[in-house]
Amino acid sequence: MQYRRLGRTGLQLSALSFGAWVTFGRQVGRSDARELLALAWDRGVNFFDNAETYNHGDAERLMGDVLADLRFPRDSYCVSSKVYFGVADKPRPTQRGLSRKHVIEACNQALERLRVGHLDLYFCHRPDPETPIEETVAAMDTLIRQGKVLYWGTSEWPAAAIHEAHRIAQAMHMYAPVVEQPQYNLLHRERVEQEYAPLYASYGMGTTIWSPLASGLLSGKYNQGVPEGSRLTQPGYEWLRDIVLGEGGERVQKVKRLPAIAAEADVTPAQLAIAWCLANPNVSTVLLGASRKEQLEQNLGVLDLLPRFDLALKERIEQALA
Ligand code: NDP
């Protein structure tokens, strides 16, 4: 495994990490979750990502059970949660958002579900237009001073709101966000590469990037239609189908150009797509998702490709998908 500093912090995260969205508590039950986490940890993964909203808290409950069962030393891994969407199907106003009340209560609930004494990383899952940023910065600062959270960050905040959080934190001598969790993959690049560019230089922010395979699309699994049991067939995720496949399947057409390049490099399209993410020095860690052990095994294998992943290969891939 390769380890990278989370931005300018002293925290070293594995370049490949593992997340629970959609899978834990839905596609993946206890024994599979145990196998996946054990495999990841054996290969040096030290960051496991979660959120209050994933399967209404069940993803955190399952991860917490399995982490306790596997008895990894608590100082050998990092675990995160995210706050904003709430746990309930139809949350009441105090059960969602980034108010001081919800940020603090959601943290306490995540600690219980994950069965840990602190969260290593705690993210504001989206910006909350109904809460002043000062209130959220102060709530995160409180949690850090209480030792319940070690580092806090944002997820999919506009760069302007992140600048504002830093301005407030500096003026009020509070802890500022050190990490952003954005989507980043071959088909979704602009925010990470352009909008956030000043944040890396000005504040030394790190990134824990999500959907490196665009929900599996870049593995080529949707090239011949949507396989039964895959993410896009999960009840409740119908909204994701058009986003992932693109209108009229236009994103699938682009992705069909990847397998030939992957074959020449003697890797799978998924490995090629993940290596491309890792080639960006502003990516601190690539969050992998997997519903099966073989997928995780394959995706972790990308580390063997890295020494061969040069500029020429990167440019070929980018041209193919442009
Ligand atoms: P990916 O884009 O890598 O999608 C993962 C899914 O793709 C798997 O569950 C599996 O789906 C399929 N897949 C993975 N590898 C392969 C393979 N080698 N061959 C075929 N299919 C494969 O990542 P995610 O979208 O899951 O994002 C990763 C993590 O990022 C999440 O778990 C979560 O922790 C975080 N995240 C954060 C968000 C945020 O707003 N902050 C939003 C979304 C995710 P299947 O088998 O079901 O088809």
Does 127 sit in the ligand 1 pocket, CB within 6 Å?
no
Gap between the Cα atoms of 255 and 274, Å rounded: 14
Task: Ligand 1 pocket test: pick from 18, 114, 295 the residue with the most ligand atoms within 8 Å of its Cβ.
Answer: 295
Question: Which residues form the domain of 131?
Answer: 3-216+271-304
- In a domain, residue 246? The reply is no
- In a domain, residue 31? The reply is yes
Helix, strand, coil distribution of the chain in percent, nearest 5: 50, 15, 35
Q: What is the pLDDT of residue 201?
A: 94
- CATH number of the domain at 173, please: 3.20.20.100
Gap between the Cα atoms of 291 and 167, Å rounded: 40
The DSSP bridge pattern shows strands 3-5 and 12-14 to be antiparallel
How many angstroms separate the alpha carbon of residue 231 from the centre of ligand 1?
Answer: 9
How many angstroms separate the alpha carbon of residue 288 from the centre of ligand 1?
Answer: 6
Number of domains in the chain: 1
- In a domain, residue 41? The reply is yes
- In a domain, residue 84? The reply is yes
Q: What is the pLDDT of residue 245?
A: 94
Q: What is the pLDDT of residue 249?
A: 86
Q: What is the pLDDT of residue 229?
A: 93
Does 21 sit in the ligand 1 pocket, CB within 6 Å?
yes
Question: Quick one: CA dihedral 132, 138, 144, 146, positive or negative?
Answer: negative
Q: What is the pLDDT of residue 322?
A: 87
- In a domain, residue 310? The reply is no
Q: Find the helix or strand (DSSP H, E) in which 139 lies.
A: helix 133-145
Prediction pTM value: 0.98
Residues in the chain where the model's pLDDT stays below 70: none
Which residues form the catalytic set? 54
Q: Find the helix or strand (DSSP H, E) in which 160 lies.
A: helix 159-171
Count of CB atoms within 10 A of residue 313's CB?
18
Gap between the Cα atoms of 140 and 176, Å rounded: 9
Q: What is the pLDDT of residue 61?
A: 98
Residue 211 Cα: closest atom of ligand 1: 2
Gap between the Cα atoms of 136 and 214, Å rounded: 30
How many angstroms separate the alpha carbon of residue 175 from the centre of ligand 1?
Answer: 30
In this structure, which residue's CA is closest to atom 10 in ligand 1? Answer: 290
